[in-house]
C-alpha cells in the first residue's frame, strides 16, 4: 500500500529503465546517468537501481538544519555541509528562512533538500482536543508541503499525535487521521508525501499498529519516516523494518544505549556515538536491503561546529557500510 504504491514508476520511467531492478522514491531532483550495473543513481526524484546485486540501503547522507551550530549565512552553511561530504540537509517548515536565499544556496552548492520537518506538530498536535489548534497545525503542514515542493524535496515529516492525560489513544488515532485526510489533496497537488514518525509521543508503539495506521489511509501519499534509534525503547529496529516494509520513505539515524538509559536516565540513552550503542547496524542494513530500501538517511543527533559535523558524517559512513 501507500509507499509501496509510491514506488511504482511512471510509464515513461518504466520504459526508459526496463532493466532496473527497483525504483525508490526516496531521492531528490538531480540529473545523473547510470554509470555501472551496481551503482545507485539519483534521477529526478528517484533513486534508480540498475539490474545487478542488491543496492546498499543507505546511499544519500543528510542531517537536520538545526544541527549546524556555526554562526554563518545560509549560503555558507550549505557550502560547509557540502564540503564536509553531506548530500543534503532537512529543513523545518514553517520557518523563518528566506526561500530565495535557500534556493540560491541549494543551486550554487548542489546540496539537496530531500524534505522538511513540520515545526508545529508538537505545539499544536493533530490530536489536540481543541479543533482550532488542530486546524492551525493542518495549515502549517499544508505550508510545509508547498515549501517542500519549492525546495525540490518529496516528504514532510509529521508526528501525527500525542497521547497524554487529556488525550486518549483512540482520540489521538481518530483525530489525527481525520486531519491528515484533509491534507491529501494538497499532497497530491505538490507531489510531496506525508511521512509519519513516532517520537516518544506515547502513540503508535507497535510496528504492526504503525503499518495499519498508514494503511488506513489507502492513499499513496502517506508513508512512514523510520527513526532507527527512537524505536529501541519499544522493540528492535529490524522488527519495525520488516513490518513497515515499503511504507518506509526515509530514515532518521540516531544511536541509543540501554546502559546509559539505565545508569543515567531515559533520555541519556541517546547520548552515545554511532556504532557505540545498542543498534545492530549490520542487521538494520540487512533488513533494509531485504525490503528493497535504497535512499536517504538523515542524522538527527547533537550537532555542533565544523569538527563535530565532520565526526557525524564519518560515523555515518561507518553506519552506511556496516
Chain segment 113-139, per-residue pLDDT in tens: 999 999 998 889 999 999 999 999 999
The widest CA-to-CA distance across the chain, in whole angstroms, is 57
Instruction: Identify which of 34, 65, 63 has the alpha carbon closest to the alpha carbon of residue 47.
Output: 34
| Stretch 72-83: mean pLDDT | 98
Answer yes or no: is pLDDT of 280 > 90: yes
Quote the mean pLDDT of the chain. 87
Measured CA distances, 316 to 177, 252, 273, 309, 320 (Å): 34, 11, 10, 11, 6
Residue 198: the pLDDT is 87
297, 320 Cβ separation under 8 angstroms: yes
pLDDT band for position 245 (cuts 50, 70, 90):
very high
Mean pLDDT of 76-91: 98
Q: Which residue has the higher pLDDT, 238 or 31?
A: 238
Q: Check residues 186 and 42 and name the one with the higher pLDDT.
A: 186
Amino acid at each position: 500500500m501507500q509507499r509501496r504504491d509510491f514506488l511504482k514508476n511512471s510509464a515513461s520511467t518504466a520504459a526508459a529503465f526496463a532493466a532496473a531492478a527497483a525504483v525508490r522514491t526516496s531521492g531528490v531532483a538531480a540529473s545523473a546517468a547510470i554509470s555501472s550495473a551496481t551503482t545507485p543513481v539519483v534521477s529526478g526524484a528517484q533513486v534508480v537501481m540498475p539490474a545487478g546485486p542488491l543496492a546498499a540501503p543507505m546511499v544519500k547522507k543528510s542531517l537536520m538544519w538545526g544541527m549546524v551550530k556555526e554562526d554563518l549565512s545560509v549560503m555558507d552553511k550549505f557550502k560547509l555541509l557540502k564540503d564536509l561530504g553531506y548530500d543534503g540537509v532537512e529543513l523545518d517548515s514553517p520557518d523563518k528562512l528566506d526561500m530565495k536565499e535557500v534556493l540560491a544556496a541549494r543551486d550554487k552548492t548542489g546540496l539537496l533538500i530531500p524534505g522538511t520537518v513540520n515545526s508545529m506538530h508538537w505545539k499544536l498536535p493533530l490530536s489536540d482536543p481543541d479543533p482550532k489548534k488542530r486546524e492551525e497545525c493542518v495549515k502549517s503542514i499544508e505550508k510545509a508541503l508547498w515549501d517542500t515542493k519549492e525546495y525540490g524535496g518529496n516528504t514532510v515529516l509529521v508526528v501525527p499525535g500525542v497521547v497524554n492525560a487529556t488525550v486518549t489513544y483512540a482520540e489521538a488515532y481518530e483525530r489525527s487521521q481525520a486531519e491528515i485526510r484533509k491534507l491529501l489533496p494538497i499532497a497530491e497537488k505538490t507531489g510531496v508525501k506525508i511521512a509519519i514518525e513516532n517520537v516518544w509521543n506515547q502513540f503508535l508503539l507497535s510496528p504492526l499498529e504503525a503499518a495499519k495506521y498508514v494503511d488506513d489511509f489507502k492513499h499513496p501519499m502517506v508513508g512512514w519516516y523510520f527513526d532507527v534509534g527512537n524505536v529501541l525503547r519499544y522493540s528492535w529496529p529490524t522488527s519495525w523494518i520488516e513490518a513497515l516494509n515499503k511504507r518506509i520513505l526515509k530514515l532518521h539515524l540516531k544511536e541509543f544505549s540501554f546502559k546509559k538509559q539505565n545508569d543515567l536516565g531515559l533520555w541519556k540513552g541517546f547520548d552515545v556515538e554511532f556504532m557505540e550503542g545498542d543498534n545492530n547496524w549490520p542487521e538494520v542494513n540487512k533488513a533494509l536491503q531485504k525490503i528493497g530500501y535504497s535512499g536517504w538517511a538523515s542524522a538527527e543527533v547533537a550537532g555542533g561546529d565544523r569538527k563535530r559535523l565532520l565526526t557525524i558524517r564519518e560515523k555515518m559512513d561507518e553506519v552506511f557500510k556496516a
